[in-house]
Amino acid sequence: MSVEPRLALIVSDSPRAQAGAEALRRSHDWVPPTEADVLVVVGGDGFLLHVLHEMLDWDHVLPCYGVNLGTVGFLMNGPHDALHPIGQRVAQAHAVSVRPLEMHVVDQHGKAFCYYAINEVSLLRETRQTAKLEVRINGKVRMEELAGDGILVSTPAGSTAYNLSAGGPILPLGSRMLALTPLSPFRPRRWKGAILPESAEVEFRILEPKKRPVAAVADQKEVRQVRDVKIVACQRKELTLLFDPGESLEERIFAEQFQV
């Protein structure tokens, strides 16, 4: 951004974020979100994801510049610095586009749900019984039965979160790929997952759903006792995150891959 955009300030309810935002409130002439070019979001990764999810229901989504006053801050920028005005920081920031996943679910009662995920969609067994899933890619059965704790589909932005903890690959931003990662697979035991093009349509059919119930989770939204799940990347809901020069999300993803 070459000129300073109009900024709206959104702050988490946490005491740390509220206290830290006081200096920001005094340092800039803020506008309401309806008049803004950019949202400055103060808090942690969880609060930023909450704001992004809220925006998915708006007619027009805005770029988001996160200011970290949370715990991890992987998706955020550093705290407010009086020597570098917030308007200037946002104007000089680099943009990263993120396409959320669109999860379509039908439960065992035939009820349909649709939720978005910015990080990942995960299917998880609900009881001590192993989950059994059929895996389809673009309408073709690629795995007749996957037995284990479940499976997840991750975006590049979410590939360093739950996906990485489950042993999945880190996906570079801009790769337009998805990670398909099994969770504690029992059979086939040696299957490590797959990397799919973002254009792929991923479907799961729950085998023995009453005996082996499965929940589907799109970030924080959960549907229990599911029967069928379809996941696609949603181009029409593309989101934009802004990062300070030299502190891009891509650089952080590179750093994650070379940690020892």
Q: Identify each DSSP E strand in the chain by its residue range.
A: 7-11, 38-43, 64-68, 94-98, 101-107, 112-117, 120-125, 131-137, 140-148, 150-154, 177-183, 194-197, 202-206, 214-218, 221-223, 226-233, 239-243
Q: What angle do CA 62, 66, 67 make, to 5 degrees?
A: 145
Any catalytic annotation for residue 45? yes
Select which of 29, 37, 45, 228 is catalytic: 45
Return d(Cα 256, Cα 260) in angstroms, integer: 9
Q: Which strands sit side by side in the sheet containing 202-206, from one edge to the other? A: 112-117, 101-107, 226-233, 202-206, 131-137, 140-148
Binding residues for NAD(+): 45-46, 50, 119-120, 149, 157, 160-165
Report the DSSP pairing between strands 202-206 and 150-154: unpaired
Question: CB–CB of 223/105 below 8 Å?
Answer: yes
Question: CB–CB of 76/70 below 8 Å?
Answer: yes
Catalytic annotation, residues: 45
